[in-house]
A and B are shown apart, each in its own frame.
Chain A
Amino acid sequence: MTKLKVNNLSSKYSFIIFITITIGILGFYFNLQYFWSMDKHPVTIAVSKTPLSTPFYVAKSINSFDETCVEVEYTEVKGGQIAFEKVMNGDVDFGTSSDSVIAFKSLTKQKFVTHAMFVQSDNDVKLITRSSDRVTSVTELKGKRVGVTKGTASEYLLSTLLAIEGLTMEHVKLSHYMPDKLIHGFSNNEVDAIVAWEPFVFESLQLLGDQIKIHNTKSLSTLSFNLISPTADNQLVEKAKCVIQGLQTAINYIVSHPKESKKIVIDALKLDPAFIDWVWPDYIFKLGLNQSLILNINSQAIWIMETQMSEFNEIPNSERFIDSRALLQVEPGSVNIPL
């Protein structure tokens, strides 16, 4: 009798042990990485106050950094150029900058790297003229006063538009403004045209309505926003990996929950919902680090140099400004650059 009881007990115990081991293995398998990455690093990021930074706002809102190794704090700045300066001054660990800013800065021999591109738009920077001037073609800008933000996508788009028509920057009278001061200059009649990016184009439309004409420049310039940092050591790459992990979660959320994501950006940047509806179709949120980014930065840099937009005259090696180590750990499929 006792023997049978022992048999019963041992079979029950073996069953319990089997279940425990199975759960243990599964738990170990799924949570190992999570437990190993429990050590949290504090990280500050200079985030440009534009809907292009949507992945950062969504990441914060859905707490997608919680399961990564970083504890993130944002410093909101007006434009990628200021974000870049903050990164180089050591005020922040990371920043968000457009490829144009990267191209301009690559000429300055400053030591920085791009870890990942997280959004692209083919219609973020636009040319605005006065309706009364009845400008229909870029050729008509010849001799006119044009306001741009120096060393940014704004300046680059203008040069491209002029180039297509066989013109150079010398054919126009350039005025440099901070991005948020462009409308001011335009409405004060200091310039005849401005090249601005969102949300300033939308603000101009709201403010001046029929008085302005927004030219269709869609597809003529591609603008991407990227995560940059000073030249990275292993620890910074580790932090970049965790930031990218958070961004990846956020981007997946944006792709599957566009409505909710729009609301998050509207609330975070206190924007008009109509504005988000206006720019949203132009945005493509995805992680990437590919050959075209290098080519883009490179060609922009050469262009900037050759058109004397910058005082530097040495062709940079763009590959120096790309660090794929972090993104390779998070989403290797998104990295497509020759090693």
Chain B
Amino acid sequence: MKLSLHHQIYFFTISSCLLFVVLVISILWSTQVIDVASKREQYANMIEGHTNTLKQFITRENIYANNYNAKKWLALEKKFEELLQRVPHLTPQQHTIQNSIESQNRNVIRLFNAINESKLKNANEIIKKHLKIRLLTQLEAIRSDSMQLSTIAQKDIKDIIRNQIIFVLSILALVIFTLVYGAFNVVRIIKTSLKEVKSAFEKNHSGNFQKIQLSNQSEEFNSIAQAFNAMNKKLSSTTVSLASMKKIVEERTHELEQLSNTDPLTKIANRRALFERGHYEFSRARRTKSPLALIMVDCDLFKNINDEFGHLFGDEALKNLCNVCSKEIRNIDFFARYGGEEFIIILPDSELSGAIQTASRIQRSLARNSTKFEGNEVCVTVSIGICAFSDKHNTFEQLINDADKAMYQAKNNGRDRIEIIENDL
């Protein structure tokens, strides 16, 4: 399960708070334990002090003397017994020592009473001394036990403090590590995700509609990415970029231009295109003093063809003528429909002789390629007029005019032939 960023932050905060609570509880607990251990130490010290007093009484005074007042010592011993009753809560090990102290104390009382009852009247000094030493030894055993009890309590306090320090430091280290790790993790996710979102916006700006692919998953950024991707999807389906729009416009313009310059029937350049190109080539020839020739082609007896075979056949005949002409002219030549069954070929950089060759090729090719339509095969001929650009021509229209004249000349001279307007004539 992937946690969202804010959940992660909550998680880290709550974890740190919990660890802090654990710390506080453990400190309170150790204070309590140290308090108990201190009480034990205090208790042990009191026993030691009291035992020393009891020892002093026995060392100082002659317990075998007839006038020895045992009551004083017994009163002290009674107090000691009461002290042993006020035992604080002990560990099992300490309880064993407490048992030992109680047992040794019973020994002390029994031995003291035994001595005190008989006063060892029959005993020699050696026995008296020995039993006194035994009493002192028993009290020394109590003192040793109380010192051990005190040492254990001190050790417990030291251990608790040491363990507490280790525990506190470990918890702190854990908290710091958790926080640093959590902070770095969250910052890394935010940083990389923001970078990816920014880069997606930049790409969008340049019209490159791409989905945001997040390398670190988080609920917040996932929802942003989702919304962005949905918006992008919609935008990409409705929005056209400027570049593609330009391209479309150019294509459409080109198409329209082509349509406006093309003859719808024969699909070759129309009269408008002819004059546009003609003016251009004429100006160029005049400027560069380069040759320019013009061929005018007219379909012979076209009216008769229409009448005899129908207009559709007439159209096919014109298409066939255009096909033939298009194949026979050079790449740089310009072929256009002048009107009805009249066509003009502009031949840039071409002398008259070149134009004559082109015209002859057209005539020959046309003879070979008859027009076929609904089972009819009709051979169409053309009358061709040729003229070349010269100084007498001031406009392109004058050049056309000359070509027209030459073409009519061909018509008049019997059709299916080529006539030339010589410039020097």
Say yes or no for B93: interface residue by CB 8 A criterion.
yes
Q: Which A residues lie within 8 Å of B138 (CB)?
A: 222, 292
Q: Flag if B107 contacts A219 (CB, 8 Å).
A: yes
Interface residues on A, range: 35 or more
Q: Which A residues lie within 8 Å of B143 (CB)?
A: 291-292
Residues 81-108 of B, flagged 1 when their CB comes within 8 A of A and 0 if not, give 0000000000011011101100110110
B133: nearest chain-A partner, CB-CB: A299
Residues 209-240 of A, flagged 1 when their CB comes within 8 A of B and 0 if not, give 00000000011101000000000000000000
Q: Which B residues lie within 8 Å of A303 (CB)?
A: 126, 130
Q: Flag if A296 contacts B137 (CB, 8 Å).
A: yes
Say yes or no for A135: interface residue by CB 8 A criterion.
no
Say yes or no for B148: interface residue by CB 8 A criterion.
yes
Q: Which A residues lie within 8 Å of B104 (CB)?
A: 122, 222
Q: Flag if A336 contacts B144 (CB, 8 Å).
A: yes
Q: Which A residues lie within 8 Å of B192 (CB)?
A: 4
Q: Which A residues lie within 8 Å of B68 (CB)?
A: none
A220 to B188, CA, bound (A): 80
Q: Flag if B185 contacts A286 (CB, 8 Å).
A: no
**Given A220-B107, A222-B104, A292-B138, CB of A11 within 8 Å of CB of B95:** no
Q: Which B residues lie within 8 Å of A218 (CB)?
A: 106, 110
Q: Which of B362-385 contact A (CB under 8 A)?
A: none
B174: nearest chain-A partner, CB-CB: A22
Say yes or no for B136: interface residue by CB 8 A criterion.
yes
| Chain B CB within 10 Å, residue with most, of A167, A218, A255 | A255
Say yes or no for A79: interface residue by CB 8 A criterion.
no
Say yes or no for A333: interface residue by CB 8 A criterion.
yes
Stretch of B116-124, B203-211, B238-246, B335-343 on the interface side: B116-124
Q: Point out the residue from A4, A167, A295 that lies within 8 Å of B122, measured CB to CB.
A: A167
Say yes or no for B23: interface residue by CB 8 A criterion.
no
Q: Which A residues lie within 8 Å of B92 (CB)?
A: 252, 255-256
Say yes or no for B140: interface residue by CB 8 A criterion.
yes
Q: Point out the residue from B107, B118, B133, B148 that lies within 8 Å of A334, measured CB to CB.
A: B148
A interface, over-half SS:
helix
Q: Flag if B188 contacts A164 (CB, 8 Å).
A: no
Q: Flag if A164 contacts B131 (CB, 8 Å).
A: yes
Q: Flag if A219 contacts B151 (CB, 8 Å).
A: no
**Given A164-B120, A292-B140, CB of A252 within 8 Å of CB of B93:** yes
Q: Flag if B121 contacts A166 (CB, 8 Å).
A: yes
B108: nearest chain-A partner, CB-CB: A219
Residues 1-14 of A, flagged 1 when their CB comes within 8 A of B and 0 if not, give 10011010001000
Q: Flag if A122 contacts B137 (CB, 8 Å).
A: no
B185: nearest chain-A partner, CB-CB: A11
Q: Flag if B151 contacts A291 (CB, 8 Å).
A: no
Shortest beta-carbon distance from B205 to chain A in Å: 22
Q: Which B residues lie within 8 Å of A286 (CB)?
A: 93, 96-97, 100
Q: Flag if B133 contacts A166 (CB, 8 Å).
A: no
Say yes or no for A284: interface residue by CB 8 A criterion.
yes
Say yes or no for B14: interface residue by CB 8 A criterion.
no
A290: nearest chain-B partner, CB-CB: B144
Residues 304-339 of A, flagged 1 when their CB comes within 8 A of B and 0 if not, give 001100000000000000000000000011101000
Q: Which A residues lie within 8 Å of B130 (CB)?
A: 163, 299, 302-303, 306
Q: Flag if B137 contacts A292 (CB, 8 Å).
A: yes
Shortest beta-carbon distance from A271 to chain B in Å: 22
A323 to B219, CA, bound (A): 72
Say yes or no for B249: interface residue by CB 8 A criterion.
no
Interface residues on B, range: 35 or more
Q: Flag if A333 contacts B100 (CB, 8 Å).
A: no
Shortest beta-carbon distance from A87 to chain B in Å: 25
| Chain B CB within 10 Å, residue with most, of A11, A120, A167, A336 | A336
A336 to B143, CA, bound (A): 10
Q: Which B residues lie within 8 Å of A222 (CB)?
A: 104, 107, 138, 141
Q: Which A residues lie within 8 Å of B93 (CB)?
A: 252, 255, 286
Q: Point out the residue from B96, B118, B141, B177 that lies within 8 Å of A290, measured CB to CB.
A: B141
Q: Which B residues lie within 8 Å of A306 (CB)?
A: 126, 130
Q: Flag if B144 contacts A291 (CB, 8 Å).
A: yes
Q: Flag if B122 contacts A165 (CB, 8 Å).
A: yes
A295 to B141, CA, bound (A): 9
Q: Flag if A166 contacts B118 (CB, 8 Å).
A: yes
Say yes or no for A199: interface residue by CB 8 A criterion.
no
Q: Flag if A219 contacts B118 (CB, 8 Å).
A: no
Say yes or no for A285: interface residue by CB 8 A criterion.
yes
Say yes or no for B134: interface residue by CB 8 A criterion.
yes
Say yes or no for A147: interface residue by CB 8 A criterion.
no
Shortest beta-carbon distance from B217 to chain A in Å: 12
A310 to B131, CA, bound (A): 19
Q: Flag if A166 contacts B127 (CB, 8 Å).
A: yes
A170 to B246, CA, bound (A): 139
Shortest beta-carbon distance from A260 to chain B in Å: 14
Q: Point out the residue from A122, A285, A295 that lies within 8 Å of B136, measured CB to CB.
A: A295
Q: Which residues of B contact A (CB under 8 A)?
A: 92-93, 95-97, 99-100, 103-104, 106-107, 109-111, 114-115, 118, 120-123, 126-127, 130-131, 133-134, 136-138, 140-141, 143-145, 147-148, 151-152, 155, 177, 181, 184-185, 188, 192, 215-216
Enumerate 20 A-B pairs (CB-CB under 8 Å) in ascending A order: A163-B120, A163-B123, A163-B127, A163-B130, A165-B118, A166-B127, A167-B122, A219-B106, A219-B111, A222-B104, A255-B92, A284-B99, A286-B93, A286-B100, A290-B144, A291-B143, A295-B133, A303-B126, A333-B152, A334-B148
* 6 further contact pairs, Cβ within 8 A, besides A222-B138, A251-B96: A163-B130, A165-B122, A252-B93, A284-B96, A292-B138, A296-B134
